[in-house]
Amino acid sequence: GVSGSNSHLLSEVEGKTPSTDTDSVVINLDHGDPTMFEPFWRATGERGIVVVPGWQTMSYFSRADGLCWFMEPKLAGEIIRLHRLVGNARTEGRHIVVGTGSTQLFQAALYALSSPDALEPVSVVSAAPFYSSYPAVTDFLRSGLYRWAGDARSFNGDGPYIELVCSPNNPDGFVMEAVVNKEEGKTIHDLAYYWPQYAPITGASSHDIMLFTFSKITGHAGTRIGWALVKDRDVAEKMTKFIELNTIGVSKDSQLRAARILGAVSDGIFDFGRRLMAERWDRLREAVRITGSFSVPEYPSADCNFTGESTPLLPAFAWLRCEKEGVEDCRGFLRSRGILTRSGKLFGSGPDYVRVSMLDRDDNFNLFIQRLLSAA
């Protein structure tokens, strides 16, 4: 799927003149690659630089005194500072578990919440449209511990289950709560987008397991750092065990880089992100209105404790519906116009929907709007 943008990249690597004919470049908005933050970190300079001497971070171990033995204390400190600054999650009385992206922590949480002695794999559900990685990651190793069971809204099993709650939701951007709420259920809250760039901060979340990713806060997806705030000690220990068995810890170099970058985070990145997202959403809504061939959801505003203003949701993805007569496959339609997106089908929805990343570089976002306007 990435051939279009890759071939462009390759020509630069090989020192050839990249094509200036932007009409022929396929823009890839399928992944949520948060490259829009690059200009911010370019401008930050010194405060975002890390130097690691050859003799440092060699050991498997960190000098951590907490439960997560491979977590760098500096990173833990920055995580606590950041949640206090933003006010989006409670860290008091929580164990922090660091992971190789929140993708690893999601799997660690499934492992920790399932019972090795159960006769049947525990059902894993999430309200549709759900993040497409949830079913993919849950089932790819055909675990005997857990099994994807689809849309939480139609779940009618009566045994134990695990519900994934993504809020604000990937792909459609809405604020979510658990929908099943049965006795034997456990929840994992994925709060990847509960940051001031994307959402009003209406309170400090205090769920049992909360997952966060460095990727969507500062844009450093490639550093592969995520963390979980976990109330229950036993669950946090099992998650740590999973990571020990899976990767014997998490890259120290990445943790130190994340700590350094998070240390440079104050209001600046949130202002930068919010302004850019607000401008992009305005432009997208205008383009959608002009074409008449698409629709996007309307989002409510709420008072944000962080900005001190009433602010709307500004989701990291556009959940775009094709309203054009005779077009059933929105993804195919946009692809024929040089825009790669992810089909609604992968999120438990229909092919009339696509998810489009709003976090790409300016050039690609501009091309996206241009092409949307001419696709009508």
Q: Which of residues 115-154 bind ligand PMP (CB under 6 A)?
A: 131
| Candidate list 40, 70, 101, 194; residue touching ligand PMP; CB under 6 A | 101
Q: How many residues bind ligand PMP (CB under 6 A)?
A: 13
Query: Would you say 165 or 287 has its CB closer to ligand PMP?
Result: 165
Q: Which amino acid is at 310?
A: S
Q: Under the criterion CB under 6 A, does residue 102 sit at the interface with ligand PMP?
A: yes
Place of tokens 């844009």: 219
- Pairing outcome for strands 342-343 and 353-357: antiparallel
Side chain identity at 84, as an amino acid letter? R
- Answer whether 157's CB lies under 8 Å from 121's CB: no
Closer residue to ligand PMP in complex, CB, 108/287? 108
Q: Smallest distance, Å, CB 304 to ligand PMP?
A: 20
Q: Nearest approach, Cβ of 106 to ligand PMP (angstroms)? A: 7
Alpha-carbon distance of 192 to 215, in angstroms, equals 8
32 binds ligand PMP (CB under 6 A): yes
Residue nearest to ligand PMP (CB): 101
**Cα separation, 149 vs 247, whole angstroms:** 27
Separation of alpha carbons 285 and 292, rounded Å: 11
Stretch touching ligand PMP by CB under 6 A, among 42-50, 73-81, 148-156, 213-221: 213-221
Rounded CA gap, 356 and 61, in Å? 40
Residue 349 Cβ, how far from ligand PMP at the closest point, in Å? 16
**Residue 31 beta carbon to ligand PMP: minimum distance, rounded to whole angstroms:** 7
Are 147 and 125 a contacting pair, CB within 8 Å?
A: no
Instruction: Write down the least CB distance from residue 169 to ligand PMP, Å.
Output: 8
Our CB check for ligand PMP shows the closer of 107 and 293 to be 107
Binding span for ligand PMP by CB under 6 A among 98-106, 200-208, 272-280, 318-326: 98-106
Can you say how many angstroms the Cα of residue 146 is from the centroid of all Cα atoms in its chain?
22
Return the structure tokens found at 171: 């792909």
- Is 62 near ligand PMP (CB under 6 A)? no
8 A C-beta contact, residue 272 and residue 36: no
The beta-strand segments (E) located in 88-205 are: 95-100, 122-126, 146-151, 161-166, 185-190
In this chain, which of 88, 170, 197, 343 binds ligand PMP, going by CB under 6 A? 170
Beta bridge partners of 147: 123
User: In whole angstroms, what is the distance from residue 198 CA to residue 203 CA?
Assistant: 15
Task: Tell me how far apart the alpha carbons of residues 290 and 370 are, in angstroms, rounded to a whole number.
Answer: 12
Q: CB nearer to ligand PMP: give 260 or 371.
A: 260
Q: How far is the CB of 171 from ligand PMP (least distance, A)?
A: 9
Maximum CA pair distance of the chain? Answer: 63
Decide if residue 213 touches ligand PMP (CB under 6 A): yes
Q: Which is nearer to ligand PMP, 91 or 169 (CB)?
A: 169
**CB 317 → ligand PMP: shortest distance, Å?**
8
Measured from the CB atom, the residue of 4 and 222 that comes closer to ligand PMP is 222
Give the residue ranges of DSSP H helices in 165-266. 214-218, 233-247, 252-263
Judged by CB under 6 A, the chain residues 225 through 284 that form the site for ligand PMP are 226
For residue 221, state whether it binds ligand PMP (rule: CB under 6 A): yes
88 contributes a contact to ligand PMP by CB under 6 A: no
Coil, helix or strand at residue 372: helix
State the residues that interact with ligand PMP by CB under 6 A: 32, 101-103, 131, 166, 170, 190, 192, 213, 215, 221, 226
